[in-house]
Structure 1
Amino acid sequence: MAHPKRRQSKSRKKKRRTHYYLLNPRLGIDIETKQYHLYHRAHWYENKLFYRGKILIDKN
């Protein structure tokens, strides 16, 4: 049975597994607007920028 000469690093192991996350992005639901958005990202809804249920920017 073949054995590697050196141990693979943790970062090299994780680089092989990065393609698993491309299949379906994680979506969350905003508390106030009930809209879907990407996790840890602000999103626009009715000319307002929301993040974690709070208004960051109001364009009106």
Structure 2
Amino acid sequence: MGVPKKKTTRARKGARRSHHHVKSGAYVKCDNCGELKIPHSVCSACGYYKKEQVVEVSEL
């Protein structure tokens, strides 16, 4: 069974894990109201998708 001969340094460990970070999500402006929303989804602020209302949004 293989056993490491030397301790892995923080720099080497960090370099190996450099691509493990969490990426920020993509956001676009809504065509109708201008709020930020996730692409290819209904706007939570106004209920529009591709310039067409698909969800009725209730006002609080």
TM-score by length of 2: 0.48
TM-score by length of 1: 0.48
